[in-house]
Amino acid sequence: MRVLVTGGAGFLGSHLCDALLARGDSVVCADDLSTGRLSNVDHLLADTRFTFVRTDVSRTIPVDGRVDAVAHLASPASPPDYHRRPLETMAVGSSGTENALRIAHADGARFLLASTSEVYGDPLVHPQEESYWGNVNPIGPRSIYDEAKRYAEALTAAYRRTHGVDTGIVRIFNTYGPRMRPHDGRVVTSFIAQALNGDPLTVYGDGSQTRSFCYVDDLVRGLVAMLDSDAAGPINIGNPSERTVAELAELVLAITGSTSRVEHHPLPQDDPARRRPVVERARALLGWEPRVPTEDGLRRTVDYFRAHRDEVVAARGAIAGGQLDGATAATAAVPA
């Protein structure tokens, strides 16, 4: 296939580009590099089947020729990024999604929307299955990202009903792995960077809030399976193995061998107390389930951070700055 990947220079997008090229597809990667990095796809630039287009997809997506599939991953995804770029986040969820849908409609292409578990908000139902409508504060500090993705889902469903576009929606739960930025504000990266720098690990509240962590290779397998299917979704893609933030902190300390202590701070507003996906739809419709144990994935991620030690050290000030998510240690004023 020829696949357009928006946000293709980001953490998840670049891994998806790798996977598609590895199986013989050609890829058009569209990214404005506001949160993605060209270094994530440098190794692909010499491949004649890979094309990089720098563009703001909420304005235009210039693609020469037809595509067989569109994977719409473009969006700031970490709290520091979407709080730093709130209007841009809303625009990419609305105008950016419609621009990508128009290409899929015109070319008769399969369309994949990378949505998020954040559409469930601070869930009143646990674990979360796709039939749950969520508990989102539409004007709260997290609503920038949550509501942008909820709108993107509604728009995708409307294009399917109105124009017959072959759409599929996946809801991605917490994902981690190589190519994450040390200062991106998510709990895995923050804990690993703090541990490697010998700084205190910042835990918000008592650390009893839970998340379910999926390694990037598993997540990308799910995205590819959804691209290849005709399922409409939404389908949860994530690891149903649930851990508390306090347990994650202890695991990171054990894997890194760090002697850093743990510090507790107040919880922020609207922080989800629990998060765990029901993945029966993914098993039934996509033949997918996670394979990489959390400990193995964390070791691979720690190895990546150790190999990029300069970035980890440089991120120290940003990580220590502030707080936007109880499963996150970061500031809204971090650099791009």
Q: Which residues on adjacent β-strands are paired with residue 28? A: 4, 51
Residue 112 in tokens? 């994949």
Residue 327 in tokens? 């499963």
Q: What is the helix (H) or strand (E) element at residue 226, kind and residue range?
A: helix 216-228
Residue 335 to residues 12, 71, 83, 319, 321: CA-CA distances in angstroms?
19, 27, 12, 11, 12
Amino acid letter, residue 123 = P
Amino acid letter, residue 309 = R
Residue 145 is a catalytic residue: yes
Residue 161 in tokens? 């009903």
Q: Are 44 and 18 in contact (CB under 8 A)?
A: yes
Which of 82, 120, 132, 145 is catalytic? The answer is 145
Q: Are 166 and 227 in contact (CB under 8 A)?
A: no
**Catalytic residue ranges:** 145
